[in-house]
Structure 1
Amino acid sequence: MQTHNLGYPRIGSDRELKKACESYWAGKISIHDLVKVGKTIRNQNWETQKNLGMDWIPSNDFSFYDHVLDTSLMLGAIPKRYNKILENQSNSELDLYFAMARGVQKDGIDVRAMEMTKWFNTNYHYIVPEFEENQKFSFFSTKIVDEFLEAKNAGINAKPVIIGPVSYLLLGKEVDKSFNKIDLIKNLLPVYIEILNKLKEAGVEWIQFDEPFLVMDLEPKAKEALRYVYNEIDKQFPSIKKMIATYFGSIGDNLELAYSLPVQALHIDCVHGFKQLDGALELAPKEMILSLGVVDGRNIWKNDFDKSLDVIQKAVTKIGEDKIFIAPSCSLIHTPVDLDLETDEKTLTPEIKDWLSFAKQKVEEIATIKALAIGSNDSEILDKKERNSNSIKNRKESVLTHNKEVRQRMEQLQSISDKRISAFSERKKKQLEALQLPLYATTTIGSFPQTKEVRSWRSKNKKGIISDSEYQKLLEEETQRAIRIQEEIGLDVLVHGEFERNDMVEYFGEQLEGITFSKKGWVQSYGSRCVKPPIIFGDVYRPEPMTVEWTSYAQSLTDKPVKGMLTGPVTILQWSFVRDDQPRRDTCYQIALAIRDEVHDLEEAGINLIQIDEPAIREGLPLRKNDWQDYLQWAIKAFRISSCGVKDETQIHTHMCYSEFNDMIQEIADMDADVITIECSRSNMDLLEVFSKFKYPNDIGPGVYDIHSPRVPTQEEMVFLLKKAKESIPVEQLWVNPDCGLKTRGWDETKKALEYMVAAALQMRQEV
């Protein structure tokens, strides 16, 4: 029996990578300094896992931005528009890489970024590979070989991690629809063969091929591609031990396919696909190792050793101890780095902290579970088991997890209306009369730039350097400034800017009971963007209004309408570490009731536009379509519970981003938001096709510029996108807005981009 890990957080224990990347982009440090930070993080990660007793440690799990983008660069899948970057001899490979991720607009070069979307059903965003018909691939970046050798030279038993060729193709998009991306497999495989040759020369023993699409519904072509790929790899590399890793769900009807592939090990997720164990053991080939993902790689609750040992014992009985690996369910990039860094007992109380486990602790859990499974009598190991049992028992019995009033309200849920008073067509008439907005009404998604000054005020206030009243005054001044800027630019619907907020989920979590936080529990969302997810440990409720004061203050500064800005229940759920002792549905309904109370208070305060953001509603879909109906039923109901207790004149907005809507367009319509804003610019409005075919009945604001890139698009670009939008959506239904919130951008680029956006809207109005 051996242990291994599928991946370790790459951001550093204090977000060193974020700080280094942003300093490099700002020209404050050299590429040499950036590379040095990356190497330090890698070596620290390897050493940590080695010291904790991991038998096989992943390499190539580190990334400066995104592991899918790393794979595209490795395979030479570089869109032609980046040739200008390549031609400039002063640009490094990393400059090309960051241009693909973020776009670039300097030195006469103006190139947009590649599209970005969610990694399966997580809040991690990856850069979508772009494929042309008969796409050519080549071994461009040698990162995977370099980092294996780096680990080997450091005395690490390294197992390189690589996205499997079939999953890589399925993660990408065809630039045009004239071909099927899976047909590129014969162009792609020779490059994988070349990479494996280099790894073989470097002395590799195990390679981990991530093929997460094996837990999805697969087309026959994809299944055939899997057989073709791994048979060819096995023919050429019989001496290399190959593991196929699946995660986030059950392999299900793809199990026989997975077992038919000529590989030495198969990893299955025994946490999120716990029902698959019996079938996997029953059909397991005698010669194949089964890797059991028994420690949750996506949540932060301490592992229940007894449950994991039951799973392992069942496997040992069926296939033998020597045919078992123990691992986390998936890569640990979805968890914070180290619970030992949580030393502030006011933020995270000792009682709740005792229930938790971050990446470092999960690696230790895996090593301890192995020791227990093989019958260790070591006193330290037995002591860990006793402490684990006490932690699990204490959490189950804690009075912190249940609230009587919340439970009583949940029992009355059926009596709470989740429908608007009138149909949208009737509501729209009343809203048009009340709001007097023009065609192509302009707005933003909510947040405005959180400058260093704004962030420093928050930090100083928390440290007691500036008083609450001083902090309040500074925020009022910044809010007033944002309102004046929006008025000068000519936006039709304003926002207060959210300068008092740290994060769109964290801010609400801090004001809701049943939720706590960590100080250092950062997780990568995309690139250098890290979030600190709330920890939902108990029943959730709102003790007092959360946003009314700031929204009302902003509205008092202007005659133009100001939107109330809320985060929706599904997104708060999805972007938190959620309690696992009750159905996620019930937790979501509790949050929905809290948001409903806030919506009511905003309306009472005279706010007649209220945005309830749900960017994560698509992300929450189960990976198998057969499992969708139950999730969609309660997720849509949760949104409607939060949004439907208002008058017809009150306009409800929602926002979604980086999602494919084709398969759930009916449910989006069922949400019945008066206005939906969506990310559209990176896809050149392609996402609108489904809204057009469906004849989406409510208003829609397709994003006309990408806020995740520092480049400022021109007015002409935005007009082009709006004209494309007009081909799909009636003019009367169109709003004009950016793709997402502007929190991460600077004021100069924000003002310029919004000026162009308003000018584009005015131009479109003149052409009506």
Structure 2
Amino acid sequence: MTREQFRPDDHDNDHFLLTTVVGSYPKPKWLHRARDLYEDDDHDFDEENFEEAKDDASRLITKEHERCGLDVVVDGEMRRNEMVEYFAHRIDGYEFNGPVKVWGHNYFDKPSVVEEVEYDEEWLISEYEFTSDVADTPVKVPITGPYTLASWSFDEVYDDEEQLAYELAELVNEEIEGLVEAGARYIQIDEPALATTPDDHAIVGECLERIADNVPDDVRLGLHVCYGDYSRIYPEMLEFPVEEFDLELCNGNYEQLDVFKDEEFTKDLALGVVDVHVREPEPVEEIKENIKKGLEVVPPERLTISPDCGLKLLPRDVAYGKMENMVQAAREVEAELDAGEIDIEAPTVSADD
């Protein structure tokens, strides 16, 4: 178990519910303005100015996460424009041909693989080092997984998506090795594409095997999956070589919670307890009830408290309010567990299992 290393030394409660976020967070409006100026040839806002703006935003959001009391923070992905596009720009073999509509009025610049993919420049190592220097609390690194990088790209080179995913897994593995060397001890692989194509869970599992082989025992490796039918990948996903599954359940009013009770949930659960589609902070009491749903699946020592997904599309004050209430709810549930006021329904898995 790697979880206990993230418990603060001065934690008030005997029980500990680890609190964190999935990754993305609303960018300050001035950072969007800085990007516009940088991309406008009529302005002399150069790369040095833009890098300074991203540094300032990363400091601001990292400290905002700490101020609300999170045990493990990220910088809100202030340097990233999108979860696939950002990485594709840093992988040799990709090119871009213009934006593709995703939903509503949201677009992303869907990349094309036009040559064999190769690892060139580092992706997140400098981001992690900067955030770690700024933060007084542990830092988590979210990284888009190889299956999603493959699935959400056009492929003009490889025989099929599976082959491309395996090639990308080797690159993700190389980046994670660099992150571990830089000191990262909590790495979350994001695979939202798995939920939309659950029959490919074996491909995701093989990708993760290629990555996890080189992850030391003291590094916490998690997998984030969202917005799909979990019954189509459970319990098979328990074979994945990760310690924690970060799952979106609040948005669906926990209708899928029973999926994880049919067969014992033997890994750690990072449970979404606030809905990123609701544009107001949920009350503390409501979040507490959501947290208790997680205790129907795993005991407290294997439960992490998190939003459903990234918060980047919310107003910043709403995102902060959700996190602040989420942390308070977790601390209150811990105190109630200490006092014996909550019955734990989840089966306890022994250390030998």
Q: TM-score, normalised by structure 2?
A: 0.88
Q: Which residue is 2:77 aligned to?
A: 498
1:453 equivalent among 30, 35, 49: 30
Instruction: After superposition, give the CA deviation of every residue in 1:360-396 in whole Å (9 maximum; x if it has no partner).
Output: xxxxxxxxxxxxxxxxxxxxxxxxxxxxxxxxxxxxx
Q: How many residues align?
A: 329
Per mean C-alpha deviation after superposition, the further-off stretch among 705-714 and 647-656 is 705-714
Question: Aligned match of 2:162 in 582, 585, 589?
Answer: 585
Shift in alpha-carbon separation, 1:591–1:528, aligned structure 2, 3 A: same
Equivalents in 2 of 1:654, 1:638: separation in Å?
Answer: 12
2:188 is paired with a residue whose SS is: strand
> CA separation in 1, counterparts of 2:82 and 2:131?
19
Counterpart CA distance in 2 for 1:459 and 1:539 is: 32
SS in 2 for 1:559: coil
Query: Whole-Å Cα distance in 2 between the matches of residues 635 and 750 of structure 1?
Result: 31
Partner of 1:462: 39
**In the aligned structure 2, how far is the partner of 1:435 from the partner of 1:756?**
20
- Alignment match, 1:568: 145
Cα pair distance change 1:649/1:598, threshold 3 Å = same
Decide whether the 8 Å contact of 2:26 with 2:315 is kept in 1.
yes
Q: Identify the residue that residue 217 of structure 2 maps to in structure 1.
A: 648
Quick check: 2:100–2:107 contact (8 Å CA) kept in 1? Answer: yes
Alpha-carbon distance, 1:554 to partner: 0.5
Query: Residues 376-525 of structure 1 correspond to what in structure 2 (within 5 A)?
Result: 428=1, 431-436=2-7, 439-464=16-41, 465=43, 466-519=45-98, 521-524=99-102
* Offset from partner CA, 1:387-413 (integer Å, 9 cap, x none): xxxxxxxxxxxxxxxxxxxxxxxxxxx
Give the Cα–Cα distance (whole angstroms) in 2 for the partners of residues 718 and 590 of structure 1.
Answer: 41
2:128 maps to which residue? 551
Are positions 1:541 and 2:82 aligned together? no
TM-score by length of 1: 0.42
- Paired with 1:432 and 1:680, the residues of 2 have a C-alpha distance of 22
Offset at residue 752 of structure 1 (A): 1.0
CA contact (8 A) 2:201 2:237 kept: no
Contact 1:523/1:530 (8 A) holds in 2: yes
Task: Give the superposition deviation at 1:644.
Answer: 3.4
AA at the equivalent of 2:47? D
C-alpha distance in structure 2 between counterparts of 1:573 and 1:693, whole Å: 32
Counterpart CA distance in 1 for 2:171 and 2:157 is: 20
1:710 to 262, 279, 301: 279
Structure 2: runs of 5+ lacking an equivalent: 9-14, 338-353
TM-superposed CA distance for 1:516, in Å, is 1.0
Residues 612 and 643 of structure 1 are in contact (CA less than 8 Å); yes or no, is this contact kept in structure 2? no
Alignment check: 8 A CA contact 1:514 1:540 kept? yes
Q: Distance in 2 between matches of 1:685 and 1:440?
A: 19
Name which structure has the greater RCO, CA cutoff 8 Å, separation 6+: 2
User: Counterparts of 2:117 and 2:243 in 1: how far apart (Å)?
Assistant: 27
Distance across 1 between alignment mates of 2:79 and 2:325: 27
**1:540 aligned counterpart, secondary structure:** strand
Alignment-mate amino acid for residue 497 of structure 1: G
Does the Cα contact within 8 Å between 1:439 and 1:735 map onto a contact in 2?
no
How far off is 1:468 after superposition? Answer: 1.3
Equivalent residue of 1:638, what SS?
helix
Gaps of 5+ in 1: 1-427, 622-627
Q: Deviations over 1:474-494 (max 9, x none)?
A: 111111111111111100000
Partner Cα separation in structure 2 for residue 486 and residue 712 of structure 1 = 15
* Percent of residue pairs identical: 28
Q: Give the Cα–Cα distance (whole angstroms) in 1 for the partners of residues 189 and 36 of structure 2.
A: 27
Letter in 2 for 1:511: R
- In structure 1, the residue matched to 2:232 is 663
Relative to structure 2, which stretch is displaced further, 604-613 or 637-646? 637-646
Deviation at 1:641, TM superposition (A): 1.5
Select which of 703, 719, 734 maps to 2:288. 719
Q: Which amino acid aligns with 1:766?
A: A
1:207-226 deviation digits (Å, cap 9, x = unpaired): xxxxxxxxxxxxxxxxxxxx
CA distance in 2, matches of 1:487, 1:581: 43
Q: Residues 58 and 75 of structure 2 are in contact (CA less than 8 Å); yes or no, is this contact kept in structure 1? A: yes
1:745 aligns with 2:314: yes
Instruction: Say which SS state the counterpart of residue 665 (structure 1) adopts.
Output: coil
- Higher helix proportion, which one? 1
User: CA contact under 8 A between 1:684 and 1:721: conserved in structure 2?
Assistant: no
Looking at structure 1, the residues matched to 201 and 175 of structure 2 have their Cα atoms a distance apart, in angstroms, of 23
Q: Kindly indicate whether the alpha-carbon contact (under 8 Å) linking 1:672 and 1:698 is maintained by their aligned counterparts in 2.
A: no
CA distance in 1, matches of 2:214, 2:71: 25
Equivalents in 2 of 1:654, 1:696: separation in Å? Answer: 15
Quick one: distance in 1 between partners of 2:274 and 2:233?
24
The CA deviation at 1:588 is: 0.6
Shift of 1:581: 5.0
In the TM superposition, residue 735 of structure 1 has moved relative to its aligned partner by 0.7
Aligned to 2:336: 767
Residues 339-354 of structure 1: pairs in structure 2 closer than 5 A: none
Aligned to 1:673: 242
Task: Output aligned runs, 1:256-295, within 5 Å.
Answer: none
Q: Residue type matched to 1:523 in 2?
A: K
Matched with 1:620 is 197
| Structure 1 residues 727 and 634, CA gap change in structure 2 (3 angstroms) | closer
Is the CA contact 1:563–1:610 (under 8 Å) kept in the aligned structure 2? yes
Question: Aligned equivalents of 1:667 and 1:639: distance in 2?
Answer: 14
Q: Mark the CA change 1:756 to 1:632 in structure 2 (over 3 Å): closer, same or farther.
A: closer
CA pair 749-432 structure 1, distance change in 2 beyond 3 A: closer
Contact 2:110 2:152 in 1 (8 A): yes
Q: Do the aligned partners of residues 734 and 460 (structure 1) sit closer, same or farther apart at CA in structure 2, a change above 3 Å counting?
A: same
- Distance of 2:147 and 2:80 partners within structure 1: 19
Q: 1:767 aligns to what SS in structure 2? A: helix
Q: Distance in 2 between matches of 1:717 and 1:527?
A: 29
CA contact (8 A) 1:494 1:563 kept: yes
Aligned counterparts of 2:269 and 2:287: Cα–Cα separation in 1: 16
Which letter maps to 1:547?
A: L
Following superposition, the deviation at residue 688 of structure 1 comes to 2.3
- The residue aligned with 1:601 is 178
The offset of 1:666, in angstroms, is 2.9
Check conservation: 1:450, 1:744, Cα contact below 8 A. Answer: no
**Alpha-carbon offset, residue 515 of structure 1:** 0.9
1:755 aligns to what? 324
- Offset at residue 711 of structure 1 (A): 2.7
Amino acid in structure 2 at the alignment position of 1:604: E
The counterpart of 1:686, out of the listed 244, 255, 258, is: 255
* TM-aligned CA distance change 1:702 to 1:433, over 3 Å: closer
Superposed displacement of residue 453, structure 1: 2.2
Instruction: For 1:485, give the aligned amino acid.
Output: E
Residues 432 and 739 of structure 1: CA distance in aligned 2, closer, same or farther (over 3 Å): closer
Greater Rg over alpha carbons, structure: 1
Moved more, 727-736 or 460-469: 460-469
CA contact (8 A) 2:195 2:226 kept: no
Aligned residue for 1:470, secondary structure, equals: helix
Residue 351 of structure 1: aligned partner: none
